Amino acid sequence: MQNSPSNRDRNEPQAALLADSQRGDNAQPLSVSEISNALKREVENRFGHVRVRGEISGFKRAASGHCYLGLKDDRAVLDGIVWKGQAARLAFEPEDGIEVIATGKLTTYPGRSKYQIVIERLEVAGEGALMQLLEKRRKALAAEGLFAEERKRALPYLPKTIGVVTSPTGAVIRDILHRLADRMPSHVMLWPVIVQGDGAAEQIAAAVRGFGALGPGGPVVRPELLIVARGGGSIEDLWAFNEEIVARAVADSPIPVISAVGHETDTTLCDFAADVRAPTPSAAAEIAVPVRADLLAALMQAALRSGRAIRRLRERLDERLVGLSRLLPKPENLFEPQRQRVDESAGRLPRALDNLLVRARSDYRRFEDRLQPAILKRRAEASGQSLAALARLLSQLHPNRPLERGYARVDARTGGTVTSAQAARKASALKLHFADGAVDARVEDGDKAPYVKKSRSKRAAPKAGQPGLFD
């Protein structure tokens, strides 16, 4: 028998406006925070330690230093967080697409009503995944041109100072120093670093950049060559040399770099970024410097070849000189014409002297009559009289002679004789020369008498009864 609508309605809970306890309901209502906290405790107690395998997705590092990411497979996604302290100790830099195993605990985030894993340790899920990460990073850096051959630089042939970046306690530094001592003793500067584990990549990169920051001529000598070295090991042991920070530091180094990481079969991103890759640290020392004994032998060989070349050149020059000397005439043949000319001149010299003496005697006899003392005296007197007449004439024509008769000579103060009134007005300042001295004068137009300035020279008083120049 079916219940009537009235019976069915009486059996179902009725909606109410105000919350109230229903008959038979003993559960008290929980707040959102209470239920969220209860779930948080339950999840953390149930999953306090888990290891989750998945592919990294959406990785980002916040300004606070915390890292946020997602772990996903083909059907689900789990949010994850790595706190700042743990993020600084990660063995590698997480990247999207890398399969990892995250170890930590599950918890909930009440603010978003979601659960997440707090990661304490993050590891690459197997060597295959690690190689995948390495290949992905290598392709990305190669696309930037970080490994391009045109960036590679030639190593110095004979570096005086070599910088080494490696562990100070390992066998690597001893092998390098021993091999350098055997081949070519050099000055070595060691920058000690850890070569694996937390912080290794940062220390290696800082050492490479530190060597490059040394200025030339500073208190610390700047190396001419760097060797970044580490002994052999697994890919995990060598991973610090695969970090991007190390590859970029090596590629940006202003000093040429030899990378010698691991054994011959090991390859790291540091090897790609370096100018030269060495299969082992010992091989790096061999590449860095030549063998001193080989250099000495080469120098000796060069000296011997130079000596032989000089001797051969001298012999050829001697032969050429002898050949050319055969083409030259004999010295006695060169001087025979000159000797003959000297002999001829010596033979003509006495005759020439006799002829000269004869001509001189003839000339003397021809002029002998003219050189009588009486004749010479008359000529001298006549010449003296002519000279006296010229002197008297010169005395009469001297420009100062009229001054003795009361005349004056007018000169411009700047020099030159004034011969006209126009020239006197133009000169303005004049000098008047008298027989007994000179005075300075200034020309003035009009009826005023000219101003006469006495000269410094001593002037005699005018003779009595003689009128002045301007009276």
Mean pLDDT computed over 195-223: 90
pLDDT band, residue 464 (cuts 50/70/90): very low
pLDDT at 69: 93
- 258 and 215 in a single domain? The answer is yes
Residue 285 lies in a domain: yes
Residue appearing with tokens 């190390």: 246
Domain end call among 259, 290, 321:
290
Same domain, 285 and 305: no
Mean local confidence (pLDDT), 262-291: 91
| pLDDT range class, residue 412, cuts 50, 70, 90 | confident
Same structural domain, 188 and 284: yes
Q: Are 209 and 103 in contact (CB under 8 A)?
A: no
Check residue 433 and give left, alpha or beta (phi > 0: left; psi -120 to 50: alpha).
beta
| Higher pLDDT, residue 346 or 447 | 346
| 264 and 308 belong to one structural domain | no
Look over the chain and give the mean of its residue pLDDT values, rounded to a whole number: 83
pLDDT (tens digit per residue) in 309-365: 999 999 999 888 888 888 877 777 777 778 888 888 888 888 888 888 888 888 877
Both 273 and 310 in a single domain? no
Q: What is the mean pLDDT of residues 357-384?
A: 78
pLDDT at 283 over 80: yes
Q: Which residue has the higher pLDDT, 113 or 310?
A: 310
Same structural domain, 161 and 257: yes
Residue 471 lies in a domain: yes
CA distances from 13 to 3, 4, 22, 111, 422 (A): 16, 16, 8, 33, 149
pLDDT at 462: 47
End-of-domain residue from the set 277, 306, 330 = 330
Average pLDDT over residues 16-40: 72
Residue 234 is part of which domain span? 156-290
Q: Which residues contact 172 (CB under 8 A, 6 or more apart)?
A: 166, 229, 230, 231, 281
Q: Among 124, 148, 181, where does a domain finish?
A: 124
Decide: pTM greater than 0.95. Answer: no
- Is residue 435 scored above 80 in pLDDT? no
What confidence score (pLDDT) does residue 371 get? Answer: 65
Q: What is the pLDDT of residues 114-164, one digit of tens each?
A: 889 999 988 888 777 778 888 888 998 999 999 999 999 999 988 999 999
25 assigned to some structural domain: no
Residues 196 and 250 in one domain: yes
Mean pLDDT on 276-295 = 90
Task: Say if residue 326 is in the same domain as residue 405.
Answer: no
Which CATH number goes with the domain that contains 277? Answer: 3.40.50.261
Q: Is residue 196 part of a domain?
A: yes
Q: What is the pLDDT of residues 41-84, one digit of tens each?
A: 888 888 888 999 888 889 999 999 899 999 998 889 999 999 98
Domain membership flag for residue 27: no
- Distance between CA atoms of 130 and 98, rounded to whole angstroms? 8
- Determine, yes or no, domain membership for 336: no
Q: At residue 260, what are phi and psi to the nearest 5 degrees? A: -135, 75
Helices and strands, number each (H, E), in the chain: 13, 14
Residue predicted with more confidence, 362 or 212: 212
Same domain flag for 307 and 286: no
Residue 87 lies in a domain: yes
pLDDT computed for residue 395 by the predictor? 75
- 467 lies in a domain? yes
Can you give the pLDDT at residue 31?
84
**Are 167 and 280 members of one domain?**
yes
CB atoms inside a 10 Å sphere around CB 154: 8
| Tally of domains in the chain | 4
Same-domain check for residues 316 and 265 = no
In a shared domain, residues 164 and 277: yes
Supply the pLDDT for residue 447: 47
State the CATH number of the domain containing residue 86.
2.40.50.140
Q: Which residues have C-beta within 8 Å of that of residue 114, sequence separation ≥ 6?
A: 79, 108
Q: CA-to-CA distance for 106 and 108, rounded, in angstroms?
A: 7
Please answer whether residues 284 and 271 qualify as being in contact, where contact means their C-beta atoms are separated by less than 8 angstroms.
no
What is the spatial distance between Cα 275 and Cα 32, in angstroms, rounded to a whole number?
Answer: 63
